[in-house]
Each structure stands twice: as C-alpha cells, then as structure tokens.
C-alpha cells in the first residue's frame, strides 16, 4: 500500500490543515482562531465515543441472536469480538501517542490536558508547537510504527471479507491507507509518516490522530454489521409444522371464560389454514384462529378439531379444567400471627397468576417480601386476610382467612456455658455472662440483648450483690462467684433485655446451685 499516487480526501484535509495553520502562525493569528482547532478535536473525540456506543449496541444485538442460535451465529460473533479487541488495542495505542505528544508540547509529566489517560484537546497549552510531532512521529519513528500497525490491521480486516463485499473492501482500504504523500510544503513525494507529521502543529497532529481512531471505529462498525448480515440474524427458516393450541389458562373458574389461540406453528403468516373445533369452523387471521367457550360446568373439558393446510389435516385434542372459585392462604410459620414481628404468609389462588391476585389485611400492616407477603399485626386479637383476583378484567372476591394474634413470648435467660440449674464454682467463674434466648418452640429468629442484671449470693452470713449494665459479668460479680461454697445458690435477678422493637422487657430470675 505504498508508493505515490492521487491524494486521498484525508491527505487533502491534512495538507489544507498544514497550509492554514502555517499561514496563521506566520500572520500571528489570535489565540481565539487557534482555539477553533481545539473544538475540532473535541468534535472528533465525541464522534469516536458515538461510534464506540453504536458498536456496543451491535455487539448486544449479536449476543442476543447468539443466545437464540449459537450454531449459526456463534462463529460470526467470535469474529466480531476479535475485530473489536484488535481495534481496541490499536485505538489505545494511538491514544498513547497523543498523550506522549501533548506531554512533549506542554513540558509536563502530568499536564492538565491529559485526564484518565486521555487527551482533552481544549486544555492543550502549546497548541502551535511543531517540534513534538516531528520529534515523536518522525525522528523517534513512532509514525512508521503506526503506519505498520495500520497496515497490519487493514490486511487483517480484508482477510475476513468475501470477494463480493466490494463496497466494504474499498471502504477499509481507503480509511486505513498509508500511501506516500505529496508534501504540501514543497511538493516532494515523502513516506506517509514523514509527509503527514513533519512540522505539524500539535493542535493539528492531535485531531489527525483522533481522526485515525474514528476511521478504525468506523471500520469496526462496518465489519460488525457485515458479520451480522452473514449470520442471517432475524431470518426464520421453516422446516416443520406442528399444531398448537395456546390457551390463556388451562384452569378456569366456573362463571369465567375459556380462551385459546389455535394455529399451525409456522413462520409464514400468509398461510390461512382451515380450523375446525368441535364441528365448528373458525375464522383465521394471520394463520391463527381464536376459540372461546363459556365455562358453565365444573370438571375436565375436552375440545377436538383439526387444522388443514394444502389439503393435509392435522388433528388435535386439548383438555382443560373448570373449577369452583377457591383460595389457599397458608401461614409460613404456624397458625397464628405474632404482633411486633413480620409474619410471612404464602397466598395463592388456584389457576390465577400471582400478578392478578391482590390481598388486604385488617388489624395490621401488609408488605411484600422476597417471594412472600409479610404481616405485622396490630393490637387486636384477630387479623383477617382477604383475597381478590382479577378474572377476565373484573375483580372477584376469592374469600378470606382469619388468624389469631398473639404477643411474642418473652425470652428465657441463660448463663453462658452452663446447662441446667446446677454448676461447679469453676464453671460459674469461667462463664462470661448471660444471654436471652427464645423458647425452643418459637419459630421466629428474634434477638434480645441483655441490658442489665443483678447478681447476689449469701457470703459468710452476708448477702452480697453487684449490678452489671450489659450482658457481661463484672469483675466484682465474678469475685462473688469465686467465694461460693457447695450447696449455696447464685441468684441473677432484675434481668432487663431489649427486643428488636427497642422495648425493654423484664425476664424471669435465674438461680444456679453450686455443686
């Protein structure tokens, strides 16, 4: 792809930019005019982002199609992802050249014109400097390296195209070409990297590199669209016919309506088969017939018929059930609701989807948990759960269930490490404190925290007592335990605990006999 020849549109644009900028510098044009070229860079950067987002959307469409037909789409998706990865690497390499060039121009390791590894054109300071472009791209041979990378990428893309994709082949060759150029300065034929970047002001070199990034993303977008078309995404190939009876619901409540679509499954909607159900011929629209029957009797119902296409009948039989209106409300824990806690309940109405079921409660607050309803009862003794279902667009009362409401049982105090009502003195001294536990037959996992308690015992004829203000034994309380003798009792009283609702409750006393 080297050698002299007719200038491409991009090369013409580069030449014009060079001439205009050289003239402006010679005439000492105002900074406001040079700032216009910063806006040019900003516009190109925005274009690059737009192409990147467009390619993201195409990739998502590819992945969706692949999920439906991996055998047909998978190989083309793999090619698309490979192109995106190679384009990403090349765009990132060019961005690194822009960053390095701006650092040379502004003379700083972290100039304000570089943010998060990307050049912000509006912040470039030394916009008219020509040395960074010549130094980096020509003398350090980064331009030659870029030329080689563009050539490799161009060859890689062209290798993936079929010979009949002439338009795309021409686009790739034009966008990524790196032919020798006629210098706009002296008319001589020079290598692409020399004629393109020699004495080019930074404010022109950076947009030029951005333009190359845009061209790479444009080629990426064209290649992805090409691969998507080769995968025949959206094409349906008919290879089988099956009779289908598709009902809104196969469980119908008495007084409701049974509704079904009966059709021959096919991709061609112009087909108009002959549909007969229970001896009655139905009208078909776009290959589908709609059947309705009033559900007046309870039990299993059967319909028979046939779908005839091009003289060939496809018989079918379909059964559905008509039932009395019913509702099932089952408590998830036990047959009562406890006030002060969230009680989970499961609610379902036979044959009716959950989205069509609505429930309400008396004497309580209803909320929706993960897959269940939650009820927090009020102060009353009972709580009614009422169920309403939407059937054929109308709200129907499905019944209600009454629950008893009880208060949460008080927790029981226990001494850490001690089972039962007796313990050795060593066990008492080794215990760290007391805790509040719920009764074993209580199914809710409630946590109560000990707030305070009093320890007392008769020592040498005197009653000694000490108070703790959390669940842990104090040192003075442990000293009392250490002086206990066999047969004496340690008493823990005035035990106060705080529940999940923040209320303080008094717990029963705890008495341990020393053995």
Q: What is the domain-level CATH number for residue 332? A: 2.60.40.1080
pLDDT of residue 469: 95
DSSP 428-482: HHH--BEEEE--TT--S---BEEEEEEEEEEETTEEEEEEESSSBPPHHHHHHHH
Q: Per the domain annotation, does 237 fall within a domain?
A: no
Question: Which of 219, 261, 234, 179 is CA-nearest to residue 14?
Answer: 179
Q: In sequence order, what are the residues at sequence separation of 6 or more whose Cβ sits closer than 8 angstroms to the Cβ of residue 416?
A: 431, 432, 433, 434, 435
Does residue 235 belong to any structural domain of this protein?
A: no
> Are residue 257 and residue 386 in the same domain, yes or no?
no
Q: Burial of 410 by CB count in 10 Å (0-12 exposed, 13-18 middle, 19+ buried)?
A: middle
Q: What is the chain's mean pLDDT, rounded?
A: 82
Q: Is residue 342 part of a domain?
A: yes
Phi first, then psi: what are they for 4, rounded to 5°? -75, 170
To 5 degrees, how large is the angle CA 54–CA 172–CA 69? 50
Poorest-confidence range of 180-194, 235-249, 351-365?
A: 235-249
191 in the same domain as 262: no
Give the contacts of 23 (CB within 8 A, at least 6 positions apart). Answer: none
306 vs 301: CA distance, rounded Å: 17
| Residue 365 and residue 468 in one domain | no
Q: Residue 347 domain-assigned?
A: yes
**506 shares a domain with 395:** no
Task: Please give the average per-residue pLDDT across 380-402, as a whole number.
Answer: 86
The residue among 407, 423, 456 that closes a domain is 407
Q: Are residues 146 and 31 in the same domain?
A: yes
More confident residue, 281 or 185: 281
Q: Are residues 86 and 205 in the same domain?
A: yes
Q: What is the pLDDT of residue 267?
A: 41
Domain that holds residue 361: 328-407
- Boundary-marking domain end, from 381, 407, 433: 407
Cβ-contact 377, 364 below 8 angstroms: yes
Query: Is residue 180 assigned to a domain?
Result: yes
Residues 206, 88 within the same domain: yes
Whether residues 97 and 221 fall in one domain: yes
Domain count across the chain: 4
Domain boundary, last residue among 179, 209, 230: 230
Helix (H) or strand (E) holding 237: none
| Whether residues 163 and 84 fall in one domain | yes
Of 404, 409, 408, which Cα lies nearest the Cα of 364? Answer: 404
Using CA atoms, how far apart are residues 244 and 268, in angstroms rounded to an integer?
Answer: 15
Q: In the structure, what pLDDT confidence band is assigned to residue 217 with cuts at 50, 70 and 90? A: very high
Question: pLDDT tens digit string along 352-365?
Answer: 767 788 899 998 99
CA atoms within 13 A on the CB side of 472: 2
In a domain, 2, yes or no: no
3-state secondary structure at position 9: helix
Prediction pTM value: 0.43
Asked whether residue 315 is domain-assigned, the answer is yes
Please determine, for residue 328, whether its predicted confidence score (pLDDT) is greater than 50.
yes
Residues 461, 446, single domain; the answer is yes
Specify the range with the lowest mean pLDDT, choosing from 41-45, 74-78, 131-135, 377-381.
Answer: 41-45
Domain identity same for 453 and 440: yes
Same structural domain, 454 and 332: no
For residue 254, the domain's CATH number is 2.60.40.1930
Residue 214 in contact with residue 229, Cβ under 8 Å? no
pLDDT-derived band at 185 (thresholds 50, 70, 90) equals low
On the question of pLDDT at 94 being above 60, the answer is: yes
Residue 236, domain member (yes or no): no
Q: How far is residue 256's CA from residue 259's CA, in Å, rounded to a whole number?
A: 10
Q: Which long-range contacts (CB under 8 A, 24 or more apart) does 237-242 make?
A: 237/267, 238/266, 238/267, 238/268, 240/265, 241/265, 241/266, 241/309, 241/314, 242/314
Tell me the mean pLDDT in the region 112-141: 86
What confidence tier does 296 reach under pLDDT thresholds 50, 70, 90? Answer: confident
pLDDT reported for residue 27 = 43
Q: Residue 369, exposed/middle/buried by CB under 10 A (0-12, 13-18, 19+)? A: exposed
């Amino acid at each position: 792809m080297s050698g002299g020849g007719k200038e491409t549109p991009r090369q013409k644009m580069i030449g014009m930019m060079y001439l205009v900028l050289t003239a402006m510098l010679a005439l000492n044009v105002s900074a406001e005019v040079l700032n216009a070229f910063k806006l040019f860079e900003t516009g190109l950067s925005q274009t690059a982002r737009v192409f990147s987002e467009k390619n993201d959307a195409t990739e998502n469409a590819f992945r969706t199609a692949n999920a439906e037909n991996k055998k047909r789409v998978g190989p083309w998706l793999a090619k698309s992802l490979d192109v995106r990865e190679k384009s990403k690497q090349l765009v990132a390499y060019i961005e690194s050249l822009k960053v390095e060039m701006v650092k040379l121009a502004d003379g700083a390791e972290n100039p304000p014109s570089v943010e998060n590894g990307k050049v912000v054109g509006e912040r470039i300071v030394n916009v008219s400097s020509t040395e960074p472009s010549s130094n980096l791209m020509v003398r350090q041979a980064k331009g030659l390296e870029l030329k080689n990378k563009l050539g490799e990428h161009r060859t890689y893309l062209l290798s993936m195209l079929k010979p009949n994709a002439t338009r795309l082949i021409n686009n790739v060759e034009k966008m990524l070409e790196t032919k020798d150029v006629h210098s706009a300065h002296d008319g001589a034929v020079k290598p692409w990297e020399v004629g393109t970047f020699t004495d080019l002001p930074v404010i022109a070199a950076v947009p030029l590199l951005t333009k190359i990034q845009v061209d790479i993303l444009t080629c990426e977008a064209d290649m992805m669209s090409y691969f998507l078309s080769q995968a025949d995404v959206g094409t349906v190939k008919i290879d089988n016919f099956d009779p289908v009876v598709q009902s809104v619901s196969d469980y119908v409540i008495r007084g409701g309506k049974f509704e079904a679509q009966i059709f021959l499954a096919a991709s061609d909607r112009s087909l108009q088969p002959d549909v007969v159900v229970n001896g009655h011929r139905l009208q078909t629209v776009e290959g589908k017939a709609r059947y309705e029957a009033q559900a007046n009797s309870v039990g299993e119902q059967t319909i028979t018929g046939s779908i005839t296409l091009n003289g060939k009948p496809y018989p079918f039989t379909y059964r559905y059930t008509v039932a009395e209106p019913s509702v099932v409300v089952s408590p998830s824990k036990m047959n009562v609701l406890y006030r002060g806690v969230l009680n989970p309940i499961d609610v379902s109405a036979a044959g009716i989807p959950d989205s069509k079921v609505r429930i309400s409660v008396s004497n309580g607050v209803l909320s929706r948990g993960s897959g269940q309803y939650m009820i927090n009862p009020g102060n009353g003794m009972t709580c009614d759960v009422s169920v309403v279902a939407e059937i054929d667009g109308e709200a129907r009362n499905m019944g209600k269930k009454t629950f008893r409401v009880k208060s949460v049982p008080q927790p029981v105090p226990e001494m850490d490490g001690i089972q039962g009502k007796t313990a050795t003195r060593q066990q008492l001294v080794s215990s760290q404190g007391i805790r509040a536990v719920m009764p074993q037959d209580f199914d809710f996992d409630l946590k109560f925290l000990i707030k305070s308690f009093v320890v007392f015992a008769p020592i040498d004829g005197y009653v000694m007592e000490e108070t703790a203000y959390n669940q842990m034994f104090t040192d003075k309380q442990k000293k009392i335990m250490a002086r206990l003798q066999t047969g004496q009792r340690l008493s823990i009283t005035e035990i106060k605990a705080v529940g999940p609702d923040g209320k303080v409750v008094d717990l029963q006393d705890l008495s341990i006999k020393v053995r």
